[in-house]
Chains A and B, each alone.
Chain A
Amino acid sequence: GQQLNQSPQSMFIQEGEDVSMNCTSSSIFNTWLWYKQDPGEGPVLLIALYKAGELTSNGRLTAQFGITRKDSFLNISASIPSDVGIYFCAGQRFSGGYNKLIFGAGTRLAVHP
């Protein structure tokens, strides 16, 4: 099945540093979403983007919906230890009467105090 290309696969950074990750696809989506997953838990939605070019912030997180509708990025500013986890991008497409999600493989973030 189709997957999104998410990079980088993992990052190990110092507390206080900024982080950037992105997703690309060969297909267009009507919505892009970014999730965070903590160990032993399900993904939790961080940001949803609905229009090409849209730039949205949620605290220290900023995400953008690419103009071509085939890509998105997520930035985390001034990282803190609780930012540790796996971040997933997902594209949403309406198909078969349902809004189906296609997920990237995730970016594993480690923050060194």
Chain B
Amino acid sequence: NAGVTQTPKFQVLKTGQSMTLQCAQDMNHEYMSWYRQDPGMGLRLIHYSVGAGITDQGEVPNGYNVSRSTTEDFPLRLLSAAPSQTSVYFCASSWSGRADTQYFGPGTRLTVL
């Protein structure tokens, strides 16, 4: 049982490049979400999913796309990276949708030059 895994651990992009941050969980959790963490700020919700095929926007969705084709995976896509997207990205999953059952992944540190 690996929990929530994220790849890559680190990534450097140039402005305008695209990439996908991967998130997978092996706990059969229905609820998954993506957060970003910036210096001096708490985590902010980007997108979330309440089950396969169902996604919705969080607090800061602009510049990011998501899809949920399987229960296990919830990738986050940056179509045209911008320096403002330099951040640490965390994926989380939970079985109930409640925060007290939510597990966070180890994070992906993204730098956009």
Chain A positions within 8 Å of B, measured between CB atoms, are: 1, 3-4, 6, 31, 33, 40-45, 48, 88, 90, 92, 96-106
Asked if A40 and B107 sit within 8 Å, CB to CB, the answer is yes
* Given A1-B60, A40-B106, A100 contacting B100 (CB threshold 8 A): no
B107, A97: Cβ atoms closer than 8 Å:
no
Q: Render B51-92 as a binary contact track against A, CB cut-off 8 A, 1 for contact.
A: 000001011100000000000000000000000000000101
On whether A42 and B42 interact (CB within 8 A), knowing A31-B99, A92-B98, the answer reads no
Known: A98-B48, A98-B50. A4 touches B42 (CB 8 A): yes
In the complex, chain B residues whose CB is within 8 Å of the CB of A43: 43, 90, 104
The answer to whether A101 and B45 have CB atoms under 8 Å apart is: yes
- Write out the residue numbers on chain B whose beta carbons fall within 8 Å of the beta carbon of A104: 42
Residues of B within 8 Å of A105, CB to CB, are 40-42
CA A44 to CA B90, docked complex, whole Å? 12
From the candidates B4, B42, B50, name the one contacting A103 in the complex (CB within 8 A): B42
Interchain residue pairs A-B with the least CB separation, the first 7: A103-B42, A42-B104, A48-B100, A1-B59, A103-B43, A92-B99, A42-B90
Q: A31 to B96, alpha carbons, bound, how many Å?
A: 15
Contact check, A99 vs B43: say whether CB atoms are below 8 A apart.
Answer: no
Provide the bound-state CA to CA distance between A40 and B104, in Å.
12
Q: How far is the CA of A6 from the CA of B42 in the complex (A)?
A: 10
Cβ-defined contact, A90 with B42, below 8 A: yes
Is B43 touching A101 in the complex (CB atoms < 8 A)?
A: yes
Nearest CB of A to B9, in Å: 8
Q: What are 6 A-B interface contacts by the 8 Å CB criterion? A: A43-B90, A90-B99, A98-B97, A100-B48, A103-B43, A106-B42
Q: Which residues of A contact B90 (CB under 8 A)?
A: 42-43
**Chain A residues with Cβ under 8 A from B50's Cβ?**
97-98
Which residues of the other chain, B, contact A33 by a CB distance below 8 angstroms?
99-100
Report the Cα distance A42→B42, complex, angstroms.
12
Residue of B nearest to A48 (CB): B100
Q: Whole-angstrom distance between the alpha carbons of A41 and B9 in the complex?
A: 10
